[in-house]
Amino acid sequence: MSINNLLDELNDQQRQAVLYNDGPLLILAGAGSGKTKTLTHKIAYILNQKNIDQKNILAVTFTNKAATEMRQRISFLLNQNSINRSFMPYMGTFHGIGVKILRQDGYLIGYDKNFIIFDESDRLSLVKRLLKQKQIDDKSFKPSAITTLISNLKNDPAFFEEKSLSKIEELTQEILPDYERSLKEAGALDFDDLILKLVDLLVQNDSIRDKWRQQFQYILIDEYQDTNLAQYNLIQLLVNDQQQITVVGDDWQSIYSWRGANYKNILKFEKDFKSAKVIKLEQNYRSTSHILNVANHLIHHNVDRSDKNLWTNLVGGLKVKVMQLNNEVSEADMIVRIIKDMVNKSVYKLSDCAILYRTNAQSRALEEAFLRYGLPYQIVGGQKFYDRQEIKDILAYVRLIFQPNDFISFERIINIPVRGIGKKSLANFFEFKDFNQFSLEEALANLTNFNKITKKALSGFQGFHQKLVELKSLKDSGLSVKDFIDQIIKKLDYLNYLDDGSLKGQSKIENVQELLSVAENYGHDFDLFLEEVSLMSDIDRADLSVDQVTLMTIHAAKGLEFNLVFLVGLEESIFPHSRALNSAQELEEERRLCYVAMTRARQQLVLTYTTSRNIYGTLSHNLISRFIKEIVDLEDVDKDASFDHQVTYSYQIPNSQDSFVIEDFEIGDQIFHPIFKEGQIIDLSDNLAAIKFKLAGVKTLDISLAPLKKI
């Protein structure tokens, strides 16, 4: 494709963004405005016209799937028949870029190039191990909450400052040094370290920082609104004096504050880079005007946002529909019947349809309905492929060959397949190892000198050691990734170990065979294989080309689009989530999340809510979501009781001007809230009530919205 043809595909704003290479550039790209197209065309233009070597371009995405799509598009634009990674820029996620640089230069801060990456399940295993060492019951302090707090502390050292700490926060602070020592001992980095250690490397070594700043002459960053403090600091370190940095993003779609993301990074870009040019991509190519108008109207209720005016040429189409159902069962039943009817009439394919929800707990009723009607579906965000027991087992063997001190992998597979090594024998082994200050390999080789190990357990340890020696020899013989994993499976007789005659066992065997198919894509590049399987996200493995309905959380749907989208559970305390009801800032993020959900729809958007819902084991009667109240009077919202294509449904919708019945509350009243349970009003001001709940403490709620009842 010639460069003129390349530019002819773009609208005026996209073309300006591609051609501008005179310093910092902020591209404010609204939903569906072609930001990926703009980014890929800009990279192709730089490579084609600026005589820049591919290694001098750093392109950062937020998922491996996005990076793969960008490579494919760039290859097409540059008339390549297939993706040639050696001709591609440094491209990947922040974590992936961190791995690449740390493997080269991390030795300067004490990290071997063969470091392994602890994923979330590895981190949980480590925290459980540390709690056990301290004789603390992991039922008293949830390990997943501790790993989240560790992540918060790593990304923001001031996270615990200026506040009184809870017991779990104090415990996290106590555990953190042991956690860090254990990572070091295992030759491992966790997800947060992949960026934090890279920042340390660049701060501590001027020559290394200068090397990478000189190499990355052009830096392009997608989804800039989702960067956290550590990623922001990394960017500042990598940008050189020419400041050829382009960031693309949309603060309206910032939905990851719970992961430390700060949408204000994009709002202050012009302060960080004084000469920055701003280009707005405001033409939406995805959604009809009805859908876009509803989404725009909703997001304009947020105060803290940039100013954009999204528009589309896709005028008309179907209005946004609002459905009221009795409960989650009738909600799911109606949605599945609508989809089945439309598919039967060839209006949509199954893969054109998606159901989005705020929390995973909402998927149960939907799954049951799909099973009742025999309609194919997939859940994105269920158990990850690489978190399955059988996959983790095989990967643990690969990791232990590459990093012999990986005690988490060691503990996982020491008795897989069964070798007669019990918990007591394993504890005795680690006692022997630690007392003698041995590595895992040294302890295995010298275990005959330890009299606390039974003969049966000793035989098991020795057999395991022999397997490791054999596998290391095979790996060093030059096998490909696929062939090496195949040899692991055969030498362990692992498929026979899985085959217990059940359907579940057969499914596990199929998963292991699928791992071989994945490994085939990596040739002899073990580093890349281990990196990518560790950093793979839910959406990276989702196959949206198969003809089945997709069920997923809204967070997982970011970046995707479907012809028909159902957004379910639009009720106060469900969406917006109950955790956000007391915070204006969190409510704005919930509204951004709703905006993201709405703008996934191309042709048709259906919003549902129920008068009652059984969730988390409790029957709730929630008010209709404020997000519906904010858009229901628009001309773009369908108030007709019939559904297109002759599917009917029960329909009731309150006029947004109607007020809900508000009881005459007074200070001292005993009240009940479906989420926070029993409490007493201790202060009243206008419509705001400060309520001291027996279980949840003091909450300030809007009595015109909160479902409060006197008791």
Examine the residue annotation and report whether 499 is marked as an active-site residue of this protein: no
Is there a contact between 192 and 151 (Cβ–Cβ < 8 Å)?
yes
Q: Which residues are within 8 A (CB) of 580 and not within 5 positions of it... i.e. 6 or more apart?
A: 586, 587, 589, 590
Examine the residue annotation and report whether 35 is marked as an active-site residue of this protein: yes
Q: How many other CB atoms are there within 10 angstroms of residue 161's CB atom?
A: 7
Q: Which two tokens stand for residue 469?
A: 């020696």
Is there a contact between 249 and 279 (Cβ–Cβ < 8 Å)?
no
* CA nearest neighbour of 304 among 247, 232, 223, 225: 225
Q: How many other CB atoms are there within 10 angstroms of residue 548's CB atom?
A: 17
682: helix, strand or coil: strand
Report how far residue 195's alpha carbon sits from residue 230's, in angstroms, rounded to the nearest whole number. 7
Report how far residue 165's alpha carbon sits from residue 163's, in angstroms, rounded to the nearest whole number. 6
Catalytic residue among 36, 217, 359, 378: 36
Report how far residue 641's alpha carbon sits from residue 647's, in angstroms, rounded to the nearest whole number. 10
Examine the residue annotation and report whether 147 is marked as an active-site residue of this protein: no
Q: Which residues are within 8 A (CB) of 114 and not within 5 positions of it... i.e. 6 or more apart?
A: 187, 402, 403
CA 124 to chain centre: 17
Location of structure tokens 């858009």: 631
| CA dihedral angle for residue 104, residue 106, residue 108, residue 109, rounded to 10 degrees | 180
* CA nearest neighbour of 36 among 91, 79, 87, 84: 91
Q: Dihedrals φ, ψ of 254, to 5°?
A: -85, 115
Catalytic residue among 392, 419, 600, 602: 600
Catalytic residue among 40, 61, 253, 604: 253
Report how far residue 559's alpha carbon sits from residue 68's, in angstroms, rounded to the nearest whole number. 14
Examine the residue annotation and report whether 222 is marked as an active-site residue of this protein: yes
Examine the residue annotation and report whether 209 is marked as an active-site residue of this protein: no
Burial class (CB in 10 A: 0-12, 13-18, 19+), 528: middle
Q: Which residues are within 8 A (CB) of 437 and not within 5 positions of it... i.e. 6 or more apart?
A: none
Location of structure tokens 């909402």: 362
* CA nearest neighbour of 566 among 379, 378, 331: 331
DSSP-assigned beta bridge partners for residue 219: 58, 245
490: helix, strand or coil: helix
Q: Dihedrals φ, ψ of 480, to 5°?
A: -70, 170
Examine the residue annotation and report whether 223 is marked as an active-site residue of this protein: yes
Amino acid at the residue 40: T
Catalytic residue among 105, 190, 192, 223: 223
Report how far residue 664's alpha carbon sits from residue 37's, in angstroms, rounded to the nearest whole number. 56
β-strands 613-615, 377-380 pairing: unpaired
Max alpha carbon distance in the chain (Å)? 82
Catalytic residue among 35, 197, 412, 592: 35
Report how far residue 298's alpha carbon sits from residue 592's, in angstroms, rounded to the nearest whole number. 9
Q: What is the CA radius of gyration of the chain?
A: 28
Q: How many other CB atoms are there within 10 angstroms of residue 633's CB atom?
A: 12
Q: How many other CB atoms are there within 10 angstroms of residue 448's CB atom?
A: 10
CA 570 to chain centre: 22
Catalytic residue among 190, 193, 222, 636: 222
**How far apart, in Å, do the first and last CA atoms of the chain sit?**
72
Is there a contact between 356 and 600 (Cβ–Cβ < 8 Å)?
yes
Location of structure tokens 């990986």: 406
Sort residue 302 into left (φ over 0), alpha (ψ -120 to 50) or beta. Answer: beta
Q: Write out the catalytic residue numbers.
A: 35-36, 222-223, 253, 600
